[in-house]
Structure 1
Amino acid sequence: MEKLQQGTTAFRRANFALFAGGFITFSILYDVQPLLPIFTKEFDVTAATGSLTLSVTTFTLAISMLFISSISEAWGRKPIMSVSLLLSSLIVIITAFSPTFSSLLGFRILQGIVLAGLPAIAMAYLGEEVDPKSLGIAMGIYISGNSIGGMAGRIITGSITDLFSWRVAMGSIGIISLILSLWFCFHLPNSRYFSPKPLKLKTLSKSLIGHLKDPALLCLFCIAFILMGSFVTLYNYIGFELLAPPYHLSQTIVGWIFIVYLTGTFSSTWMGRLSDSLGRKKVLWICLIIMAAGAVVTLAVPLVLKIMGIAVFTFGFFGAHSIASSWVGRRARTAKAQASSLYLFFYYSGSSIAGTAGGFFFSNFGWKGVIGFILCLLLLAFPLSLKLSSVTGNPVQAAN
């Protein structure tokens, strides 16, 4: 049997299904982000504390993915992804009824555990089922689903919150996600190249350690931490900036600013395709420079320039993430799910740690402090990129 190739019906079905899965995951994950200023007022907490509604989810997501990816090596890819999406949709509906900030955090912690099923496995599924020549574009399409989902989640919650309340907005996200989850279950092709392995924790531990011993993969993991840490920090606190003087924007308008995510939809696919022809190393460097440039532009006071800076930053981020994530799938020769889960563990750890730490810089130094923090993170990515480009030879083989 041939692997899924671009232009075939099976390839389109797989990509549309995973696009929907990414949409669900990221709309649920980030639907609270435009609500952070509301949480700080309604529950009387600081900006950094309010950001925990996102950080605790990404943190439990990061940890859970390490275990779920290992379980998928024994139980299969599609069943776990399907259950994850269905349960996540139900939990977000329940979260809308949270009576206190503590209960809200509790549901968001549970949400992170359940959400882990799709992102922990999707990249491994693509790496196994898609022909290597089509992997770049396939990964780009999946990540574009992530970007549109993240954008839609923010826009929907921002708009509906202005009309009704944040609770109605979150419940709406849950209903939409439930419908798409059912569509995912019926349309994703079953795995054809997956070979189940007995669930042996000792062997799986060796597999994870083996990936961490590969210098190229370790560089990619650290870059993932930096990319997501920078990205979430900017989006966590831009709402506070735009709701305050001199802008005084409404919650709806702030939510619609996330439409700049569309630049990520384009860049993830385009940069993925470009990396297939020009080389991943060069295009990754370009994306990091684009992110830094966009961050600097957001320091401008005029609203148009600030939004342009956010768009440029987003364009660079999704391009870099598309390249780095597909690189992990190619570099890992065995236990691909574990390699993907480690990448995402670092990725979401960056979201949790840097995203919350950014609240300290915003509270003490304002928006300039946030951008200074982001630029420091991005500067760390350049030596990692140089190290990555110098790594040669075969990767360290993880134990099976």
Structure 2
Amino acid sequence: MIVARSRAWWRATLALCLGSILVFVNLYAPQPLLPELRQLYGVSTLGVSLVMSVATLSLAGALLVFGPLSDAIGRGGIMRVTLLLAGLCSLALAFAPTFETLLAVRLVQGFVLGGLPAVAIAWMGDEFDRPALMAAVGLYIGANTLGGIGGRLIGGGVGEIGGAGAGFLTVGLVTLAGVALFWKLLPAPRQFTPRRFELRGALADLGGHLRHPLLLAAYLLGGINFLIFINQYSYITFRLADAPFGLGARWLGMIFLTYLGGTLSSALSGRLTRQLSQPACMALGVLILMGGTLITLADSLAWIVAGLTINAVGFFLAHSMASSWVGRQAQRARGSASALYLVFYYLGASLGGFWLEPFWQRGGWFGVAIGSWLLLGVTLAIALWLWRSERCPGRVSMAR
């Protein structure tokens, strides 16, 4: 087993963090380009939001495929090949002749982007001892955030200079260079033992998780919160691209630096649980997200940025608590329980445009805020129910 802080640990952790960055660079690079893509292809705001939705939807489905598949054929090959295909998809996006072609490529790209998130932590679990695993997972999750920020900065910055095609081309070339380094850095597995895939057992595990009220509540909370959080960023780009702000793609990409508020709250969430229970932290995160959304109604760009930063703090606090709650509550097949959380998470992201679009059409950004508060009220109620269930566990056990 690889031990923490050893040379092999640093090499493997660096490889997996690099892979994580590449995944989220490719997933989120188009987001600051949405206003330009809307004009380029002559589609509606709902239509262009599908550029993000189809990718997150197919990524969610991929998690249920690559996880079990990796148990049978290995994990390293899946990560290498899917990252390579993701980079090639970004190159293809640069030359998409029609919007339908663009969506089709994004659908494929979203699916292959699911390869690494589905198996990376399982790879660590195979090869690392427990202290090494815990240390590496924290760095890996931090890399997720950096990848999301980096993708938007690259897409927005290059896109403003050379157009959306140049943005996609740059992301593709950066990805291929990163894949070459990833391919070299990732050590060969030594502890992996293939096992026969049994569809019936896997489906039984998934069904058991969905019937577990405490798990299902966390799945819904994480998915609905992400539905609001990530799609708010899509609609804020439309608001800030129009008068009176008139921001270009480069500045729209920099808006996503507000994600750093979430990086901070994720890092501090462990300390907060010393004072509050996990469900209480989830409820606090939802309340912060609701408050940040209120601040974004201001007409000042500075206040809008402040509101988005507060949103990131609240969202990532609730997300980190909900995801860890799943690992704590699952009594068996924890890997599939965590994978199912991510399925709800990305499924929520893919459906957000359909929920928020009518509010945007009727009320602009104020309408988006109203639509957000309606669903955040649901997740606040879920968090409070979990808090009550933790204090009165007998009632939940009877429900199960």
| Structure 2 length-normalised TM | 0.89
1:56 to 2:26 alignment: no
CA shift for structure 1 position 192: 6.1
Structure 1: which amino acid aligns with 2:53?
S
Structure 2: which amino acid aligns with 1:202?
R
Structure 1 residue aligned with 2:205: 207
Q: 1:218 aligns with which of 193, 216, 219?
A: 216
Q: 1:158 aligns with which of 136, 143, 156?
A: 156
Q: 1:361 aligns with which of 354, 359, 362?
A: 359
Structure 2 residue aligned with 1:337: 335
The CA distance in 2 between the partners of 1:163 and 1:208, in whole Å, is 47
**Deviation readout 1:119-158 (Å, 9 max, x if unpaired):** 2223444566666677666444322211111111111111
| Structure 1 length-normalised TM | 0.89
**Deviation readout 1:322-373 (Å, 9 max, x if unpaired):** 3322333343344333222211111111001113322221122100111111
Structure 2 residue aligned with 1:382: 380
Aligned pairs for 1:113-128 (under 5 A) are 113-126=111-124
**Deviation readout 1:268-288 (Å, 9 max, x if unpaired):** 233246447865334333322
State the structure with bigger RCO (CA 8 A, min sep 6), 1 or 2: 1
The CA distance in 2 between the partners of 1:30 and 1:303, in whole Å, is 22
The answer as to whether partners of 1:143 and 1:322 remain within 8 angstroms in 2 is no
The answer as to whether partners of 1:58 and 1:352 remain within 8 angstroms in 2 is yes
Structure 1: which amino acid aligns with 2:206?
L
The CA distance in 1 between the partners of 2:135 and 2:366, in whole Å, is 36
The CA distance in 2 between the partners of 1:209 and 1:254, in whole Å, is 41
Question: CA distance change for structure 1 residues 99 and 206 in 2, over 3 Å: closer, same or farther?
Answer: same
Question: Which shifted more, 142-151 or 13-22?
Answer: 13-22
Question: Which shifted more, 229-238 or 69-78?
Answer: 69-78
CA shift for structure 1 position 44: 0.9
Any idea what SS the aligned residue of 1:247 has?
coil
Question: CA distance change for structure 1 residues 80 and 225 in 2, over 3 Å: closer, same or farther?
Answer: same
The answer as to whether partners of 1:70 and 1:337 remain within 8 angstroms in 2 is no
Give the paired residue count.
393
The CA distance in 2 between the partners of 1:357 and 1:278, in whole Å, is 32
Structure 2 unaligned residues grouped into runs of 5+: none
Structure 2: which amino acid aligns with 1:150?
G
Structure 1 unaligned residues grouped into runs of 5+: none
CA shift for structure 1 position 63: 1.5
Root-mean-square deviation over aligned CA pairs: 2.6
Structure 1 residue aligned with 2:168: 170
Aligned pairs for 1:323-334 (under 5 A) are 323-334=321-332
Any idea what SS the aligned residue of 1:312 has?
helix
Structure 1 residue aligned with 2:87: 89
Any idea what SS the aligned residue of 2:43 has?
coil
CA shift for structure 1 position 314: 1.3
The answer as to whether partners of 1:229 and 1:352 remain within 8 angstroms in 2 is yes
The CA distance in 2 between the partners of 1:123 and 1:26, in whole Å, is 16
Structure 2 residue aligned with 1:294: 292
1:69 to 2:75 alignment: no
The answer as to whether partners of 1:144 and 1:266 remain within 8 angstroms in 2 is no
CA shift for structure 1 position 236: 0.8
Any idea what SS the aligned residue of 1:118 has?
helix
Any idea what SS the aligned residue of 2:54 has?
helix
Question: Which shifted more, 120-129 or 193-202?
Answer: 120-129
Structure 1 residue aligned with 2:346: 348
The answer as to whether partners of 1:211 and 1:339 remain within 8 angstroms in 2 is yes
Question: Which shifted more, 179-188 or 372-381?
Answer: 179-188
CA shift for structure 1 position 178: 1.8
Structure 1: which amino acid aligns with 2:21?
F
Structure 1 residue aligned with 2:234: 236
Any idea what SS the aligned residue of 2:115 has?
coil
The answer as to whether partners of 1:291 and 1:313 remain within 8 angstroms in 2 is yes
Structure 2 residue aligned with 1:36: 34
Any idea what SS the aligned residue of 1:51 has?
helix
**Deviation readout 1:358-389 (Å, 9 max, x if unpaired):** 22211221001111111222211122223333
The answer as to whether partners of 2:9 and 2:132 remain within 8 angstroms in 1 is no
Any idea what SS the aligned residue of 2:51 has?
helix
Any idea what SS the aligned residue of 1:97 has?
coil
